[in-house]
């Protein structure tokens, strides 16, 4: 049970310094399943930061959120496959053709890489979707985009914990659900001044059926990151007993 729970936990390396990456990976590799590298870190160090993580035994979830015309996104597949990552994201708003062509391109070079579609960012609310000209509420829009991702043969989607129930009901257990915006009970109850709006606790997120939890600030900003990780794992494990 313990190893299975650890594999579900992805630490978001939302930091700016290579030294911070090295410190966190050295401390946490044996406690977590994967590390997320996003545009913030990648724009500063490029593929070298992924190499740093892998040399220390960590697996990498590259949250690239590729979003461009199909041919441009497709051309990234070869370089992505050479980085040794485990998962990569494209943005579902790029449409079916972009997703489908990218998935096929990645498979040509490395069939082990999971391609995931980012649906609606966890920072967005129904009101903000209206302001963007989207008439559907968040859950409806997430389901629509997830159906496009499934049609394009992506391996799963990234969504908030609030949509897990609807996604599992629609797609069953064979579609990966990666859930960011994980917060402690105390933090969820004090959501003011937090960019992440559609959040849930680690325990409730796993209970609902998430395959992976992406946790950033509660771990990387903790005085003792290892202790923070162990507390999250303990919370999830206790729920499974």
Is residue 23 exposed (0-12), middle (13-18) or buried (19+ Cβ within 10 Å)? middle
User: Quick one: CA dihedral 208, 57, 217, 38, positive or negative?
Assistant: negative
| In the block, residue with structure tokens 């497709």 | 74
Check if the beta carbon of residue 138 is closer than 8 Å to that of residue 76: no
Tokens of 155: 């391996």
Strand partners, 114: 87
- In DSSP terms, which residues pair with 115 in a beta bridge? 88
Look up 151 and say whether it is catalytic. Answer: no
**CB crowding 72-89: b at 16 or more within 10 Å, else e:** ebbebbeebbebbbbbbb
Catalytic residue among 8, 65, 103, 139: 65
CA separation for the pair 111, 32 (Å, rounded): 23
CB-based contact 120:79 (threshold 8 Å): no
Q: Which residues participate in catalysis according to the annotation?
A: 65
């Amino acid at each position: 049970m313990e190893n299975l729970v650890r594999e579900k936990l992805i630490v978001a390396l939302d930091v700016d310094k290579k030294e911070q990456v090295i410190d966190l990976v050295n401390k946490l590799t044996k406690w977590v399943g994967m590390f997320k590298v996003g545009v913030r870190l990648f724009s500063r160090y490029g593929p070298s930061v992924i190499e740093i993580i892998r040399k220390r035994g960590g697996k990498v979830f590259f949250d690239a959120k590729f979003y461009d015309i199909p041919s441009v996104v497709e051309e990234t597949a070869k370089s992505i496959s050479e980085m040794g990552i485990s998962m990569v994201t494209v943005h579902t708003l790029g449409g079916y053709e972009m997703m489908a062509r990218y998935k096929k391109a990645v498979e040509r070079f490395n069939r082990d890489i999971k391609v995931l579609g980012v649906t609606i960012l966890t920072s967005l609310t129904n009101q903000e979707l209206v302001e963007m000209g989207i008439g559907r509420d968040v859950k409806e829009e997430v389901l629509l985009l997830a159906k496009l991702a499934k049609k394009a043969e992506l391996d799963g989607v990234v969504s908030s914990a609030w949509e897990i129930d609807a996604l599992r009901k629609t797609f069953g257990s064979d579609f990966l659900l990666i859930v960011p915006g994980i917060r402690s009970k105390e933090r969820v109850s004090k959501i003011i001044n937090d960019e992440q709006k559609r959040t849930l606790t680690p325990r409730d997120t796993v209970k609902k059926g998430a395959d992976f939890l992406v946790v950033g600030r509660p771990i990387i900003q903790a005085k003792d990151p290892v202790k923070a990780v162990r507390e999250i794992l303990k919370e999830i494990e206790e729920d499974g007993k």
